[in-house]
Amino acid sequence: MRVSLRLSAGRIVLNTAIVCASLGLAAGATEIFIRLFSPVRYHPLVPSAERGLFWQYDEHLGWLHRPGASGRFRKAGVFDTQVTINSRGFRGREHLDEAPPGVRRILVLGDSIVWGYGVEDDEVFTSVLEREDAGLEWINLGVSGYGTDQESLLLEREGMRYKPDIVLAEVCENDFDENVHDQVYHIYPKPLFALRQGSLLLTNAPVPRVSLLDRLFYRLETGSYLWRLVNSYRISGRILDALKRCARGAGLSRSVPLPLSSPDQPEQLLVSLLGRTKRIAESNGARLALFIVAPMPQPHRALVSRFGEREGVAVIDLDPIFSRAVSDEGSSALFLRGDLHWTAEGHRVVARALEEWLEQSGALGSRRPSQRPPSQPGEPAVVRAPA
């Protein structure tokens, strides 16, 4: 009887191994076939190289640049640039906590646009502006991939140590989407604010490291043509999506985003986060200003403009500025090929626009006094959700 059971168990293991090997061979053959005959349609995602070159995990913000990192950042056939990260983890030259006597400071928050994706260190608009006026320091705190939530947390944690006169924050269309996600780019967990009765609640903090299952999904997304093919079909794609949602429910994955609490959650959250950023800036004696990056749909541009009018915050809309520049110089001069990041000429256009805004607005005419701290007794600036 025992011998019979052993033989049965052995056959089961052998048959299972044969089935797995057969499936593996079939998947491999299909992968090769798709690569040969549909190399474009089902091409895997191509991860952006700056993440591997310059990013490191950060438990409060999700990721930051590695202090002191430097290297060549390339996109084949488009650009080949030198990137230098200073000792505090930001692109550009070193800045002391205290400004030199008589020098005013503007601190800039943003994502890869502000960081200077695709241009040299000295071609980023903040570097261009610093060369124009020795009495102004432009401190670039742009971090590629950041949303409004991470920018606000970064300002609170690092930015105000520089004691800026103006905090200039980028607003782009990506922010509306990224602010409602707790993981972006398939493999990068991040902090997430939720709105509870009109107050911001910080969740997913400390930021967890990426799960093993999401690492597997990422490898498939960036390496397998077959995976992309299966995802493209309605039925098989839905099955994979359902499996990912089950994995999310079990706490094994964040590859599927959380459902929206309401259709206008992205808009409400963006406005609340801008308000938070304003309170942080003003509590330290700085003035907040915003600049809108094109392209952005008119309803969202109007939303940001209304926030500015209501809160007394200057809003610089770059859309008409770029439209005029495109008509004069052509879009190829302002944007990288097949991309919406700015070329060196695009950065110069922005530098001129910001220079004109400073001159016409008189924004540096007087330093705004401190308003109120970001929190009053019983009113915390950030409430952390239970772990």
Q: Can you name the residues that pair with 94 across neighbouring β-strands?
A: none
CATH number of the domain that residue 319 is part of: 3.40.50.1110
Q: Assess whether pLDDT exceeds 90 at residue 136.
A: yes
Whether 299 maps to a domain, the answer reads yes
- By DSSP bridging, strand 287-292 and strand 166-171 are parallel
Whether 169 maps to a domain, the answer reads yes
Paired tokens of 19: 């089935």
Whether 19 maps to a domain, the answer reads no
Q: Would you call 377 helix, strand, or coil by DSSP?
A: coil
C-alpha angle with apex 342: 295 to 47, nearest 5 degrees? 90
Alpha helices in 312-385 (DSSP H): 318-329, 331-334, 344-361
How large is the average pLDDT for residues 230-254? 92
Task: Give the DSSP H/E element, type plus range, for residue 73.
Answer: strand 70-75
Residue 201, phi then psi, degrees to nearest 5: -115, 120
The confidence score (pLDDT) of residue 251 equals 93
The predicted-structure confidence for 174-186, as pLDDT tens digits, reads as follows 999 999 999 999 9
Whether 112 maps to a domain, the answer reads yes
Containing structural domain, residue 115: 58-202+263-384
Whether 161 maps to a domain, the answer reads yes
Output the pTM of the full model. 0.87
b/e sequence 28-66, b meaning 16+ C-beta within 10 Å: eeebeebeeeeeeebeeeeebebeebbbeebeebbbbbe
Whether 119 maps to a domain, the answer reads yes
How many independent structural domains does the chain possess?
1
Whether 247 maps to a domain, the answer reads no
Q: How far is CA 200 from CA 59, 143, 193, 345, in A?
A: 19, 22, 6, 39
Cis ω before 206 (30° cut-off from 0)? yes
The confidence score (pLDDT) of residue 23 equals 67
Q: Assess whether pLDDT exceeds 50 at residue 377.
A: no
